Amino acid sequence: MTTRLDTSFAALSDATRRGVLEELGRADASITDLAQRFHMTLTGIKKHVGVLEQAGLVTTRKIGRVGTCQLGPRRLEEEEAWLERYRQRWDERF
């Protein structure tokens, strides 16, 4: 579980990756569209998407020459439970 938490939190630690998740929460998008929205090169956005894919937060599929991204199957339930445990501890202490 620790490795999974580390991967998730590392993926979420970057503002661009959080922005990509927000965009994909509205609608699927191509790699090219994401690169344009975030004013990045294709290589740069692919690296961000790759980190999100490793965490299970994004999936991509290639149709012809177009790579399309969508939200992945992970719902961050373990991460939410971890945060809730620490929120409760902080509330008890303070």
pLDDT (tens digit per residue) in 21-37: 999 999 999 999 999 99
Q: What is the pLDDT of residue 74?
A: 82
Average pLDDT over residues 33-52: 97
C-beta pairs of 3-9 under 8 Å, 24+ apart in sequence: 4/78, 5/78, 5/79, 5/82, 7/54, 7/55, 8/55, 8/57, 8/74, 8/76, 8/78, 8/79, 9/79
pLDDT > 90: percent of the chain: 73
pLDDT at 1: 60
Residue 93's pLDDT is 85
